[in-house]
Amino acid sequence: MTLFERYLTLWFFLCMVVGVLLGLALPNVTDLVRSLEFGHGSHINLVIMLLIWLMIYPMMLKIDFASIKDAGHAPKGLLVTLLVNWVVKSFSMALLGYVFLRHFFACGRSFCASHSF
């Protein structure tokens, strides 16, 4: 494992802290980045899209495309992966979204009224 891979969680949190601090220090730049959308009103931010692509691209380079033709020879692993990615993750993320939006972030209730955010 490389140094970067070994401390990936640390780099992740460090980047989050730096991003928040830059957003607080340079609010005009934040507004400019927020305004860069792919089509008016689409809510698809070009900067976020580019950064996600840059994050995924190195992983794509490590894919052995020649071995994809042999993926059908072991259907059990492929089916488990499809089941987890398309069924389990989808519904668990929907459940987590519901719980957080309905219960943790639902202002107007006694908790939000008694605390000033």
CB of 30 closer than 8 Å to CB of 23? yes
| Same structural domain, 16 and 38 | yes
How many CB atoms sit inside 10 A of residue 33's CB?
14
CB of 46 closer than 8 Å to CB of 37? yes
| Same structural domain, 77 and 115 | yes
pLDDT at residue 117, as a whole number: 47
pLDDT at residue 110, as a whole number: 53
Residue-level pLDDT, tens digit, the chain, 117 residues: 788 778 888 988 998 899 889 889 998 988 888 888 877 777 788 888 888 888 888 788 887 878 878 878 878 888 998 899 999 999 999 999 998 888 877 765 555 555 554
| Same structural domain, 10 and 48 | yes
pLDDT at residue 93, as a whole number: 92
Count of CA atoms in the C-beta half-sphere (13 A) of 111: 5
pTM: 0.45
CB of 38 closer than 8 Å to CB of 46? yes
pLDDT at residue 46, as a whole number: 85
Expressed as residue numbers, the domain containing 105 is 71-117
| Same structural domain, 53 and 86 | no
Q: What does residue 57 show for φ and ψ, rounded to 5 degrees? A: -55, -45
